[in-house]
Structure 1
Amino acid sequence: MLSLEDFKASLTLPSPVEPFFPKWKGAEKVSLFVKRDDAIHPIMSGNKWRKLSNALHTSLPKAIVSFGGGFSNHLHALGFICFKLGIPFTAIIRGDYSATPSPMIKDLIQWQTHIEYVDRITYKKRSDSAYLNELKLQFPDAIIIPEGGSQAQALQGIKDMVDEIEVDFDFIVAPVASGATLAGIVNALKTFNTGSIKNASPTPQRKAIGVGVLKGEGYLESLVEQFLPDSPRREVQQNIPAGERSKIPDRNQGEQHWHINHDYHFGGYAKTPIELQTFCCEFNNTMPFKIEPVYSGKAFWAVKDLLAKGAFNDGARIIILHTGGLQGAR
């Protein structure tokens, strides 16, 4: 069992920001960088560490309960850190995998996680106050962390990620599923300090682009907005004709500072058609780091396609956030 400080010492923080030089059409007209949050730790990496880091303090919780599917990166990361810190952990998993546990569930079992399989009807109640009160009675000493780690505390961890960036940029691109990562980026950009950046440009508004990894126009925006109560929606993709969605707002239009592009979900969450699988396979065979098709693969595909369509201004500086989660590709 490790102390929290010893565990933090095993992490690579700040994570690196690396120049990225793919041979993609249009890539030569912009400057690309990757924020390598996948490099934080082999298991506890990406936005999962960022979203959980501020839920874990010196005074550790006595127990933790959380939710996810059978391949959940969130449950995988949370199960690992709970095992390392000696925190009893209960994973409430959608669907019964007891006969055929996924690789993620096999890891949780090895890490002494208590697993409760629930049907889809029960799982849909994961945000209902009555159901959460039942869980509090069942697990009186536990804190309950929402699915995906998406809670208000997560935003500070994402802000920490943005604050680590020491290269100037106009856009930061990230996959979107539960909304907290994009919300944290949006909040961080409001107060982004360029003091540590050499020759920082007077960009009036750096912008965040979310890549929806599931079908959810309007729904994904609402997930982000629940964490941005004082910020009206700047640009909602459902109000833009489909043929116009590839166009990125000009970086001098300061008021439109975030939006979600819904053109790259490939049919829904965890839908990975052969063209996406092929793209990820070729990427992994030629690039200095790996991606997976559920989150990062869709984000990198989106950037490739948007570049080919001329959606970014020439000279734009673009950071792609690698949110980790490679284990989910198993």
Structure 2
Amino acid sequence: MIHPLILTLENTLLNEKNIRIAIYRGDLEHEKAPGNKWHKLKFNLEAAKVQGAKQLISFGGPYSNHLHALGNIALSFDITPIAIVRGELQPKLTPTLRDFVKAGGVLWPSKRIDYKAGMDSEFVANLKNYYPDAYWVPEGGSNSLGVQGCCDWAQEIDAQTKTLGEFNTWVVSAGTGATSAGFLAYEKIEKNNSPDILVFPALKGGEGLLNDIRRFALTQNPNTDIERLKIIGDYHHGGYAKLPQGLKDYIEKLHSLNPGLQLDPVYTAKVVYGLEQEIVKGNLDNKNLLLIHTGGLQGWSGYQ
């Protein structure tokens, strides 16, 4: 699952700066919920099953990777997936939502003002009365069980690095921060060898995730060394899900160098681009970098 990654930068530059880089192919995990999606959902699904829940309700946009994964796997737990979708539904559903319905899911459109209010909205209060036996999961699977799943995932990833030498820095994208928090909460037995966690948010103002990530990590592991975390918020390319031509051209160039690798446009592609820029700036000298591919390739359905 750990493969070499060829950047658009010259190898001589990487050698001069003593930088080594590889990619963990989370996109090749779990066909129905690739990348971090399964790991954030698995303990929530188990908890819903123990609770005897008949439905699992969560939140997401019309192209949500999280909802797509939930729709794919919830019925295998004998639980009906229900999505509260941001924005009014259009007559023609997105490919993501069509897949969700095809998998047996139920859609509830939410006004943006209600969606922003989340669990405190009157809309959710009404749904709780309508589905009294439902289990609720926050957007992106970002709760303590989602973080626990990502902490376990970090242990699995680390086990695969044993024969490859130590990676002193793990690099990951962020939407809600649950994956980053799980990685930060994971610590090796020799704590001073635990990797630093370098986070590239996919949305504007992503630096604001810092406190959420630290809080989630400390809840999972009160002894977490939060100084291992660094957030770089300069490479969102205009905001969440924005795909300017320059980034699109970069993705195509990177694919030509790595024919077996596909990057999603919302998360991982922006991370690789940001990494290259930080290398050129001299901010990552003497680093052994492990980039985590978090999946999300179905997100391409939202672009021409």
Q: Which bracket does the TM-score occupy, shorter chain normalised?
A: 0.7 to 0.9
- Partner Cα distance (1:148, 1:155) in 2: 11
Aligned ranges for residues 171-320 of structure 1 at < 5 Å? 171-188=169-186, 191-193=187-189, 206-229=195-218, 256-287=227-258, 288-314=260-286, 316-320=287-291
Does structure 2 conserve the Cα–Cα contact (< 8 Å) formed by 1:170 and 1:203?
A: no
**Partner of 2:94 in structure 1?**
102
- Residue 31 of structure 1 pairs with residue 20 of structure 2: yes
For structure 1, the residue ranges without an aligned partner over 5 or more in a row are 1-15, 195-201, 235-253
Contact 1:48/1:77 (<8 A) preserved: yes
In the TM superposition, what is the alpha-carbon distance from 1:157 to its structure 2 partner?
1.2
For residue 181 of structure 1, report the CA deviation from its aligned partner. Answer: 0.8
1:141-161 deviation per Cα after TM superposition (whole angstroms, max 9, x unaligned): 110110011010011211122
Give the 3-state SS of the residue equivalent to 2:68 in structure 1.
Answer: helix
Unaligned runs of 5+ in 2: none
Q: Residues 102 and 214 from structure 1, CA distance in 2 versus in 1: closer, same or farther, beyond 3 angstroms?
A: same
Q: Secondary structure at the match of 1:54?
A: helix
Aligned-residue offset at 1:63: 1.1
Tell me how many residue pairs correspond in the alignment.
285
Name the SS for the 2:291 alignment partner.
Answer: strand
Check 1:122–1:20 CA distance in 2 against 1; reply closer, same or farther (3 A cut).
Answer: same
C-alpha displacement at 1:219, in angstroms? 2.3
Between the aligned partners of 1:154 and 1:309, the Cα distance in structure 2 is: 34
Paired AA for residue 188 in structure 2: F
Q: Deviations over 1:59-117 (max 9, x none)?
A: 46421001100000000000110234432111110112331211101111211211111
- Closer, same or farther in 2 for the Cα pair 1:27/1:267, shift >3 Å? same
Residue type of the alignment partner of 2:108: E
Please give the secondary structure, in 2, of the residue aligned with 1:226.
Answer: helix
- 1:263 Cα deviation after fit: 0.6
Q: Percent identity?
A: 31
**Cα shift at 1:311:** 1.4
Matches within 5 A, 1:105-120: 105-120=97-112
Taking structure 2 as the reference length, the TM-score comes to 0.86
If each structure's helix is expressed as a fraction of its own residues, which one has the higher value? 2
Amino acid at match of 1:27: L
Shift, 1:285, TM fit: 3.2
Distance 2:117 2:24 in 1: 35
Question: CA separation in 2, counterparts of 1:222 and 1:256?
Answer: 12
Question: Does the 8 A contact of 1:171 with 1:318 survive in 2?
Answer: yes
CA separation in 2, counterparts of 1:137 and 1:27? 58
Q: 2:62 aligns to what?
A: 70
Distance (whole Å) between structure 2 residues aligned to residue 179 and residue 264 of structure 1: 16
**1:13 match:** none
1:152-199 deviations in Å (ceiling 9; x for gaps): 0011211122112232111001001101111111101xx2246xxxxx
Cα distance in 1 for residues equivalent to 2:25 and 2:233: 24
| In 2: Cα distance, 1:256 partner to 1:87 partner | 40
- In 2, the alpha carbon distance for the partners of 1:275 and 1:61 equals 46
Match of 2:212, SS state, is helix
TM-score, with normalisation over the residues of structure 1? 0.79
**How much has 1:289 moved relative to structure 2?**
1.2
Q: Shift in Å at residue 203 of structure 1?
A: 5.2
CA apart distance, 1:204: 5.0
Distance (Å, rounded) in 2 between the aligned partners of 1:285 and 1:42? 24
* Structure 1 range deviating more: 71-80 or 103-112: 103-112
Question: What's the RMSD between the two structures over aligned residues?
Answer: 2.4
- Counterpart code for 1:170: N
> Per-residue displacement from partner, 1:33-64 (whole Å, max 9, x unpaired)?
21211111333101111101111226464210
CA distance in 2, matches of 1:172, 1:127: 33
Structure 2 residue 32 is matched with structure 1 residue 43: yes
1:273 is displaced (CA, Å) by 0.7
Counterparts of 2:36 and 2:205 in 1: how far apart (Å)? 21
